[in-house]
């Protein structure tokens, strides 16, 4: 299992389900130029392009970066991914995924704003807890990250971060990993924006 807890590798990239040529180019540039802890392959409404997904897994793992699949244990196994992210997790779905993938797999979870479920899944062995995205955003996300980091050792991920300033604030509050918003992949200067977020993470950690 590739670990995602190296404090020097704190950028968590979530790739959109459909990868244009521009997105793939920005992705290649990013994983080659900055420290990345993890790459998540998001699921869409249609069946994934297995050839494309397999290539992304292969290229990412060549850089020593863990690859997770969103919500689909079977696809994670088919692709040889390092684990799974459950975007709306509960005890049942977590238990099923852990049983299917085994203890060696990385298994991260999002539980919305349900603090009880979040704590329960951490106790069950979740490798990280993610906060952000609907319905958790803005100040609510910040409050949850601050609460979590003060009490628990399990790493937390700040999802859907828009820019370097927001990344810096969330790292100050205790986020262990920062996942830029998917919309950034659509920007013409996507690689540059992601690089600035990565730099802000490093600078904020160094100043702490």
The predicted-structure confidence for 79-111, as pLDDT tens digits, reads as follows: 999 999 999 999 999 999 999 999 999 999 999
Is 7 a member of any domain? no
Phi, psi of 156 (to 5 degrees): -125, 150
Does a structural domain hold residue 152? yes
Q: What is the pTM of this model?
A: 0.93
Angle between helices 91-101 and 115-124 in degrees, nearest 10 = 20
Cα–Cα distance, 103 to 13 (Å, whole number): 23
pLDDT, tens digit (0-9, with 9 covering 90-100), for 169-207: 999 999 999 999 988 999 999 999 999 999 999 999 888
Q: What is the mean pLDDT of residues 62-67?
A: 96
CA dihedral 27, 30, 36, 39 (to 10 degrees): 0
**87: in domain:** yes
| Within a domain: 6 | no
pLDDT of 7 reads 52
**Of all residues in the chain, what percent carry a pLDDT higher than 70?**
95
Q: Mean per-residue pLDDT for 41-63?
A: 91
Sheet containing 38-41: give its strands across: 12-15, 38-41, 66-70, 83-86, 106-110, 128-131, 156-161, 177-180
Residue 161 has pLDDT above 60, yes or no: yes
Q: Is residue 60 part of a domain?
A: yes
Residue 4: inside a domain: no
Please report where in the chains the tokens 């100050």 appear, as a residue.
172
Q: How far apart are CA 154 and CA 126, in angstroms?
A: 8
5 in a domain, yes or no? no
Where residue 56 falls among pLDDT bands split at 50, 70, 90? Answer: very high
Top mean-pLDDT range of 3-12, 18-27, 69-78: 69-78
Range of the domain at 185: 12-207
Give 3's pLDDT tier (boundaries 50, 70, 90).
low
Per-residue pLDDT for 6 more than 80? Answer: no
Q: Please, which pLDDT band fits residue 5 given cuts at 50, 70 and 90?
A: low
Q: What is the number of structural domains in the chain?
A: 1
Q: Tell me the three state secondary structure of residue 131.
A: strand
2 part of a folded domain = no
CATH number at residue 74: 3.20.20.70
Please tell me the predicted confidence (pLDDT) of residue 206. 83
* pLDDT at site 143: 96
C-alpha dihedral sign at 45, 59, 67, 143: negative
């Amino acid at each position: 299992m590739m670990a995602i807890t190296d404090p020097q590798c704190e950028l968590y990239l979530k790739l959109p389900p459909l990868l244009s040529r521009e997105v793939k180019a920005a992705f290649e540039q990013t994983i080659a130029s900055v420290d990345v802890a993890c790459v998540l392959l998001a699921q869409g409404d249609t069946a994934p392009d297995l050839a494309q997904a397999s290539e992304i897994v292969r290229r990412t793992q060549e850089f020593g970066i863990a690859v997770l699949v969103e919500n689909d244990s079977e696809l994670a196994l088919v692709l040889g991914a390092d684990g799974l992210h459950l975007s709306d997790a509960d005890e049942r779905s977590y238990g099923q995924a852990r049983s299917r993938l085994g203890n060696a797999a990385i298994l991260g979870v999002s539980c919305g704003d349900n603090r009880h479920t979040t704590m329960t899944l951490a106790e069950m062995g979740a490798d990280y807890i993610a906060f952000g995205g609907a319905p958790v955003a803005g100040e609510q996300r910040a409050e949850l990250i601050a609460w979590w980091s003060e009490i628990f050792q399990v790493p937390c991920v700040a999802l859907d971060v828009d820019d370097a300033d927001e990344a810096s604030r969330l790292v100050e509050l205790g986020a262990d990993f920062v996942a830029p918003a998917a919309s950034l992949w659509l920007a013409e200067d996507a690689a540059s924006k992601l690089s600035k977020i990565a730099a802000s993470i490093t600078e904020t950690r160094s100043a702490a």
